[in-house]
Structure 1
């Protein structure tokens, strides 16, 4: 049975690699996608763990197969592609920094002025985000609230923290495990534009969701 399981895992990986090929639009050549390659390799590793061991150690190791199976980079590639597809035209930016993803939610899109209750017309956007995050459980999520520099600093810290908490609570209510979520409000301390112009201040008023792969 063990030998059969090994053979099946290897065969499945080979079929996966063969099936997941694309045509390079520039060269016209057929190529295997990076995600498929990593997924096939990971499939063999995870299959062999289950086929050769029947121990608590093997079961614990197999818990990481969600990330191992795709490779961290490819795992995040697939998640990035799904998020970009879901968030087209919503005003939410998707940025990639190595193996981390960041969603930037402008304050005027997410909240009314000086409020921390999420606007009802933004619910479908967060529902789409939650739908993707729910499938990619091998990630840790940090929600950070930001403000511009106008007004009292204490007020800005409090508002940014409440806005971050509102987004995190919504995601938790949509099925995201609370243990994956961290919230923080940093007020005006991390601007991404000049606070000397209205355009810059508008960019600084935002909530960011950082998505980081969990290393198993």
Structure 2
């Protein structure tokens, strides 16, 4: 019975939050909610579960779940709002239209195609691309509560060992520019994935071009 009551309170919190969606915040589309609202919903669910399981005497689990949902929703909304603002600032700061900035709700993904970063088989970042990377660095300094993963990717042309080494060197080059832009090296991890994580088919030139990229993942720490 107590477990059912906990579930009811958690579900009620989620429904209530979903009902508060303001269409004016989403281009008039009630079917899509903002990242702030998504964070609130996720936080409510986690908070409800946490509140119910932290009750030492097992009394009033429904009340504890409701309290947890409220606190979790508030924390989730704050985190979601910060990512919304950081993503918007990045979109304004980065000049190259081929750079993609994707807000996944719990982290940001900056996708930089090889063509704007490197010459063929090179790990030296082009001068034009450096400007955008310094813009990313300034953004990361404005939002310091995150850890950054710089991940290099290649297509499957050539040996796997060569591609792994090239992707690692490219990731390190991008990470080095972020560090030169003032981002603490303690926040950054550079990793090469070689040809192991394609996003498109390597059977076509277009697909291989999409696979040759460096991604910057920005994961909030609080």
Alignment pair present for 1:76 and 2:76: no
Which residue of structure 2 aligns with residue 121 of structure 1? 128
How big is the shift at 1:98?
1.9
Paired residues of 2:168 and 2:190 also in contact (CA < 8 A): yes
More strand by share: 1
CA root-mean-square deviation: 2.3
Paired residues of 1:111 and 1:119 also in contact (CA < 8 A): yes
1:126-137 matches, cutoff 5 A: 126-137=133-144
Q: Deviations over 1:53-72 (max 9, x none)?
A: xxxxxxxxxxxxxxx69821
1:140-155 matches, cutoff 5 A: 140-155=147-162
Structure 2 length as normaliser, TM-score?
0.66
Paired residues of 1:90 and 1:125 also in contact (CA < 8 A): no
- CA separation of 1:121/1:89 partners in 2, compared to 1, >3 Å: closer, same or farther? closer
How big is the shift at 1:83?
0.7
Paired residues of 2:84 and 2:103 also in contact (CA < 8 A): no
Separation in structure 1 between the aligned mates of residue 142 and residue 208 of structure 2, nearest angstrom: 35
Alignment pair present for 1:106 and 2:113: yes
Residue of structure 1 aligned with 2:175, choices 168, 175, 195: 168
Separation in structure 1 between the aligned mates of residue 170 and residue 95 of structure 2, nearest angstrom: 23
Alignment pair present for 1:184 and 2:201: no
How big is the shift at 1:96?
1.5
How big is the shift at 1:89?
3.7
How big is the shift at 1:175?
0.1
How big is the shift at 1:131?
1.1
Which residue of structure 2 aligns with residue 212 of structure 1? 219
Unaligned runs of 5+ in 1: 1-22, 28-33, 39-67
Matched residues, number: 157
User: Where in structure 1 do 4 or more consecutive aligned residues deviate above 3 Å?
Assistant: 23-27
SS of equivalent to 1:187 = coil
Alignment pair present for 1:92 and 2:123: no
Separation in structure 1 between the aligned mates of residue 95 and residue 131 of structure 2, nearest angstrom: 13
